Amino acid sequence: MGAATKLLRQEHQAIRDVLNFAEGVSVRIERGEQALPEVLTKVTDFFRRFVDQCHHHKEEDIFFPTLEKKGISASGGPLSVMLMEHERARGLIQELSEAAEAYGTDGEISGKAWARAAWDYSGLMQEHFGKEEEVLFRMADNILSPEEQVAVAADFERLEREKIGPGKHEQLEAMMNRLIAQNGKR
């Protein structure tokens, strides 16, 4: 496994923890339990900033174009499927944001809407990560040299600093770990 694909896999792992947590929150909401509004907003914020702005943009702006240069077609192949799924994920983050925002005022209705969108988002992402890991990252490990992987990983770091700012990645992960520890199992 090269440096770049290793980083992406590590991010998938961190994201999976939050997806599983979001599913747990959804189960509780659907049972009629109250969730703290800040749980919904913080999880949604993590999906927007960490998953979309940070993780997906590393793939879209750097990783996928690198694979394209190496001969993996951008149309009709795995790359176009991955991009379509990123778009679908963006739509669901929008739904989650709207529901999380309204949750403070209309409670139950938006809570249920958030839970539905969270199930859809988690299902989509878990499957998407599986495909990337089993298909795309394996292809990348075959066609990129160790030096190319290191160069791509360095570009990831740069993009992250530009997109979300230095140190934000770690802050977001720590925020989620705290939230999960405080609100995880009940």
Q: State the residues that interact with Fe ion by CB under 5 A.
A: 59
Residue 35: which of 97, 107, 92, 102 has the closest Cα?
107
Question: Is the Cβ of residue 64 or residue 103 nearer to Fe ion in the bound state?
Answer: 64
Question: Is the Cβ of residue 25 or residue 51 nearer to Fe ion in the bound state?
Answer: 51
Report the nearest approach of Fe ion to the CB of residue 154 (Å): 20
Task: Give CA separation, 110 vs 9, 32, 60, 100, 175, in Å.
Answer: 33, 12, 31, 7, 24
Count Cβ atoms below 10 Å from residue 96 Cβ, excluding itself. Answer: 26
Question: Is the Cβ of residue 82 or residue 176 nearer to Fe ion in the bound state?
Answer: 82
Report the nearest approach of Fe ion to the CB of residue 86 (Å): 6
Residue 154: which of 52, 3, 51 has the closest Cα?
3
Question: Is the Cβ of residue 59 or residue 160 nearer to Fe ion in the bound state?
Answer: 59
Q: Interhelix angle for 108-131 vs 3-30, to 10°?
A: 150
Question: Is the Cβ of residue 40 or residue 125 nearer to Fe ion in the bound state?
Answer: 125
Report the nearest approach of Fe ion to the CB of residue 102 (Å): 28
Question: Is the Cβ of residue 19 or residue 179 nearer to Fe ion in the bound state?
Answer: 19
d(CA 131, CA 17) in angstroms, rounded, equals: 18
Which residue minimizes CB distance to Fe ion?
A: 59
Report the nearest approach of Fe ion to the CB of residue 63 (Å): 9
Residue type, 69: K
SS (H, E, C) 100-132: HHHHHHHCHHHHHHHHHHHHHHHHHHHHHHHHH
